[in-house]
Chains A and B, each alone.
Chain A
Amino acid sequence: QLVESGGGLVQPGGSLRLSCAASGFTFNTYAMTWVRQAPGRGLEWVSAVSSSGGTRYYADSVKGRFTISRDSSRNTVYLQMNSLRAEDTAIYYCAKEGEIIAMAGIDFWGQGTLVTVSS
């Protein structure tokens, strides 16, 4: 199970931290990823972190503003989002990858948390 939290309404330029609590699988074994979907739009990959936390990848649209991290003691992955823009408004999905980052399909998804950036 993947349960996201931390979404909500934030003003442009503001910050939010999304959390994703994982259960039902060996968290330390798998890479984790965030994917977002703007209202009425398609899927957009945002960021991924390896099982160890040592490798992180970011989409160009969020690089330098978002930071992905994970805490193995809490079985939780985070997405720190700074300098938010209106175009960051979307449902943010936390999802499980394979054991090697970026190689496998994304085989388990959370239900998503809505982030709205508006004044």
Chain B
Amino acid sequence: SYVLTQPPSVSVAPGKTAIISCGGDNIGIKTVHWYQQRPGQAPVLVIFDDSDRPSGIPGRFSGSNSGNTATLTISRVEAGDEADYYCQVWDRNSAHRVFGTGTKVTVL
């Protein structure tokens, strides 16, 4: 089955940029979505279709996807961005939604 690999954790100082990778075999030909999950809360969609933002998501969140890596970038990080982040794709071969392993973002 298709596997998405994320770094377990990323630490970033307030005001700096957090970059979260999502590795998968030829992921660049798939459509990637990203979710934020704060402690004790349900996930929230922050990026869809590789790089689009739902309404209400700040412009500080951006996404890209090419080759074997998709990336979520959080610019000008704030304390409220501290959360777990998951990438996700649809794998046509297995007819499964696949989530990445998740990355915990810590704001120093």
A-side residues, CB < 8 A to B, are 33, 35, 42-45, 48, 57, 59-60, 93, 102-107, 109-112
Q: Is B90 located at the chain interface by the 8 A CB criterion?
A: yes
Assess whether A107 is in contact with B96, with CB atoms less than 8 Å apart: no
A48–B91 CA distance with the chains assembled, in angstroms: 13
Q: Are B35 and A45 in contact (CB under 8 A)?
A: no
B42, A106: Cβ atoms under 8 Å? no
**B85-108 near A? 1/0 per residue, CB < 8 Å:** 010101000111111111000000
Q: In the assembled complex, which residues on chain A have CB atoms less than 8 Å from the CB atom of B48?
A: 104-105, 107
| A105 CA / B48 CA spacing, docked (Å) | 6
* Bound-complex Cα distance A93 to B96 (A): 17
B42, A45: Cβ atoms under 8 Å? no
Binding site for A on B (CB under 8 A): 1, 31, 33, 35, 37, 42-45, 47-49, 54, 84, 86, 88, 90, 94-102
Complex interface: chain A residues within 8 A of B43 (CB):
35, 43, 93, 106, 109
* Minimum distance in angstroms from B45 CB to a CB of chain A: 5
Query: Given that A57-B95, A57-B96, A106-B33 are contacting pairs, would A42 and B86 also be in contact in the complex, using a CB cutoff of 8 Å?
Result: yes
Contact B99 A102 (CB under 8 A): no
Interface of B is mostly: strand
A110 touches B97 (CB 8 A): no
The CA of A93 and the CA of B44, in the complex, are separated in Å by 12
A60 touches B1 (CB 8 A): yes
What is the bound-complex CA distance between A102 and B99, given in angstroms? 13
The distance in angstroms between the C-alpha atoms of A15 and B40, with both chains bound, is 26
The answer to whether B35 touches A43 (Cβ under 8 A) is yes
17 contacts between A and B (CB under 8 A): A35-B99, A42-B84, A42-B101, A43-B86, A43-B99, A45-B88, A57-B95, A102-B95, A103-B31, A104-B48, A104-B49, A105-B35, A105-B45, A105-B47, A106-B45, A111-B42, A112-B42
Given B37, B45, B49, B98, which contacts A45 in the complex, CB threshold below 8 Å?
B98
- A48 to B47 CA separation, bound complex (whole angstroms): 20
- Knowing A103-B90, A105-B48 touch, does A42 contact B42 (C-beta < 8 A)? no
